[in-house]
Chain A
Amino acid sequence: MTGDIRIRADKLTKRFGDFVAVNAVSFEAGRGEIMGFLGPNGAGKSTTIRILCGLLRPSSGRAEVAGLDVAREPEKVRANIGYMSQKFSLYDDLSVMENLSFFGGVYGVKGARLKRRIAFAVEMAGLAGREDAVVSDLSGGWKQRLALGCAVLHEPKILFLDEPTSGVDPASRRRFWDLIYALAGDGVTVVITTHYMDEAEYCNRIALINGGRLVALGSPSELKRSAIRGEILLVEGDDPGAMLEALEGAPGVRDVAPFGSSLHIVVDDAARDRAAIEARLAERSLSWSRIEPIKATLEDVFVQLVGEGGKAAP
């Protein structure tokens, strides 16, 4: 089993001056695992990924990627990883094929293998027949898939994807996730950051990061079980703001948070506490259109562990 560990981070810490961007983060990720980094903006997700790619030196702690120390042997690490940065990772003024040839070249892939890998990447991105299109003419979804194709030309063991699907339409996001699943199926370890909660659900494990700290680590269902001790009631009504005010700190209510135009209320026992909540709303003469128990989502976990401020904008 140890042979299958691809990433090992041990109390990884990064300081920028006095500011601690990554604070003693430890985790492991195995072969073929999809590991999601979830956290608000500025949590330290990108910084952690940059350390793991050997692009930033950790201030303290250590990390191994593909069995190599990232601070001591960054060049060897780079031969084993693919990276899609948060910013744009392709050359806009080059064509699809020119980008692929370039990245194939700098990754040192050549000859028949390069041909085969480029064909694979073109197929994967769904760009067959558009090899000569200039990248700036492609829409977001194509670009992201092409960037992914470029990042896997050298068949890396580990793939770091920093917000690869931000700003891409939902259909393209689903296609992108199909590709990630296929790669993980071939044994590639994927570390991906996202702020889409539905995407986080697709990950095998989630590392919830807030203020540079690893707040929780586990599969989506484990996180829901451990973070939410209780049940969730969904409440909808005309005036969610007033309802929120009325229910905060009310008997039986462990926590209440707005979700769009509705409220999610964490209670110990949905059946028992529902009456108390209805009574409280009636007392304040607030009308509701719907109260019903729902399954906890990752967003509930997020709100519980990170708080309101950290919730991603819809």
Chain B
Amino acid sequence: MMLRRVRAVAQKEIIQILRDPRSLMVVLLMPLMQMALLGYGVNLDIKHVPACVFDREGSQQSQSLLKAFQASQYFSVVESERTYADVTRAIDAGRCKIAIVVPHDFSETLANANAASVQAILDATDDNTANIALGYAQAVIGAASGNIQLERAQAMGQPPPVVPAVAEYRVWYNEDLVSRNYIMPGVVALVMALVGAQLTSLTISREWERGTMEVLVSTPVTSLELMAGKILPYFVIGLIDAAFCLMIAVFWFQAPFRGSISTLFFTTSLFLVVVLGLGYFISASIKSQVGASQIALVATLLPTTLLSGFAFPIEQMPAPIQWLTYLVPARYYFSILKSIFLKGSGIADLAAPIAALALYAAVVGLLAARAFKKTLG
């Protein structure tokens, strides 16, 4: 490995990037647009969460509350229980995600205190779904109990009490923010996976298409030097992109950030090496620019959206699919980002996913260096 040659390749690549302002704009603006698009557009609304109900009162009021659950598109009431033990069994067996328990004094407290407490028991293995489901449950209960009070007030000829319709909206608004907090680390991971692979996917195929590759391979530059020199400038661009994305997540979408910048920098760098290497590998294996870019898109978009745990919780996937997720680098980065953002985890806490990413980086680097053969045949 001769640094002189790595530097020559890197310098050339930087000049080419800077001399093409249009593609420079694309690499800097693309992540911003994707952040906006996904940040606003990703809808992790959960529909038809299987729910069981346990009505300890059995009054008209409690029944109308449970009907409201049945009617909402967020829940499907799959069974009614008779005891707490039944409730526990239903949740343990996975037949339902949430259990709604109406207390025996529901109507009474609602009448006296203007507020009744309804118990919601959640299967929190996937705390993302659980959180959102809980939010929905609160919204449904809020709306239903408001209606119940209103009906009763009308029946008794009293002026209507302050209907918690406003509260319903507040719940909704809050809930939206809560789910966005969970979504933002996922969106950042997804955008960085897409952008990273795109950045390098064109770098080798461009040389083939312009005809400069033939002369390049006739020089003494080695495939490792070429790879290092070509990835280096995109690594810097990738870090800039990552900084943009993370700032948008924190300052624009207000995702809570409890971790340290240095942990974020270290793990993001590692993830970048993996995805840049992946793009380079694709680029070295495919000689056309359009082909390389499309394959890079498919190779990152589909696995990242489907298998990183971002859109679908990994714990709920069938076992073979769960195994497949170990091959998706964004899976590790997503879990790292989630921990850094929400729990403030440090490098030591993240040893396992960091080790996985490091292994991934080594394998991808090796494959990429080998994929690029200095021959034409």
Q: Shortest Cβ distance from A176 into chain B, in angstroms?
A: 17
Does A50 lie within 8 Å of B376, measured CB to CB?
yes
Number of A-B contacts (CB under 8 A): 89
Q: Known A55-B375, A108-B5; judge A93-B214 contact (CB<8 A).
A: no
Can you list, as one digit per residue, whether each of B214-226 has a CB less than 8 Å from chain A (1) or not (0)? 1111111110000
Q: Known A83-B218, A105-B5, A108-B220; judge A88-B19 contact (CB<8 A).
A: no
Docked pose: A75 CA to B9 CA in angstroms: 18
Picked from B11, B210, B215, B376, the residue with its CB within 8 Å of the CB of A92 is: B210
Does A98 lie within 8 Å of B15, measured CB to CB?
yes
Q: Tell me the chain B residues, 9-58 only, with Cβ under 8 Å from chain A.
A: 9, 11-12, 15-16, 19-20
Please tell me if B343 contacts chain A, counting CB pairs below 8 Å: no
Residues in chain A near residue B217, CB distance under 8 A: 55
Q: Known A101-B11, A102-B12; judge A55-B214 contact (CB<8 A).
A: yes
Q: Tell me the chain A residues, 182-220 only, with Cβ under 8 Å from chain B.
A: none
Picked from A75, A83, A98, A105, the residue with its CB within 8 Å of the CB of B4 is: A105
Does B218 lie within 8 Å of A81, measured CB to CB?
yes
Residues in chain A near residue B2, CB distance under 8 A: 108
Does B218 lie within 8 Å of A56, measured CB to CB?
no
Docked pose: A92 CA to B206 CA in angstroms: 12
Q: Shortest Cβ distance from B119 into chain A, in angstroms?
A: 68
Residues in chain B near residue A87, CB distance under 8 A: 211, 214
Docked pose: A74 CA to B4 CA in angstroms: 20
Residues in chain B near residue A106, CB distance under 8 A: 5, 8-9, 216, 219-221
Does B218 lie within 8 Å of A105, measured CB to CB?
no
Residues in chain B near residue A127, CB distance under 8 A: none
Docked pose: A56 CA to B217 CA in angstroms: 11
Most chain A CB neighbours (cut-off 10 Å) among B8, B9, B19, B374: B8
Residues in chain A near residue B222, CB distance under 8 A: 75
Please tell me if A247 contacts chain B, counting CB pairs below 8 Å: no
Q: Shortest Cβ distance from A68 into chain B, in angstroms?
A: 13
Docked pose: A105 CA to B4 CA in angstroms: 6
Residue of chain B at shortest CB distance from A89: B215
Q: Shortest Cβ distance from B369 into chain A, in angstroms?
A: 14
Q: List 28 A-B contacts (CB under 8 A).
A: A54-B375, A55-B214, A55-B217, A75-B374, A83-B218, A85-B211, A85-B218, A87-B211, A87-B214, A88-B210, A89-B211, A89-B212, A89-B214, A92-B210, A94-B12, A101-B8, A101-B11, A102-B9, A102-B11, A105-B4, A105-B8, A106-B219, A106-B220, A106-B221, A107-B219, A107-B220, A110-B4, A151-B215
Question: Which residues of A approach B to under 8 Å, CB–CB?
Answer: 50, 53-57, 74-75, 78-79, 81, 83-85, 87-94, 98, 101-108, 110, 151
Please give 18 more A-B residue pairs, beta carbons under 8 A apart, in addition to A90-B212, A105-B7.
A50-B376, A53-B218, A54-B375, A55-B374, A55-B375, A56-B377, A57-B375, A75-B374, A83-B218, A84-B215, A88-B211, A91-B212, A93-B16, A105-B9, A105-B12, A106-B219, A106-B221, A110-B4
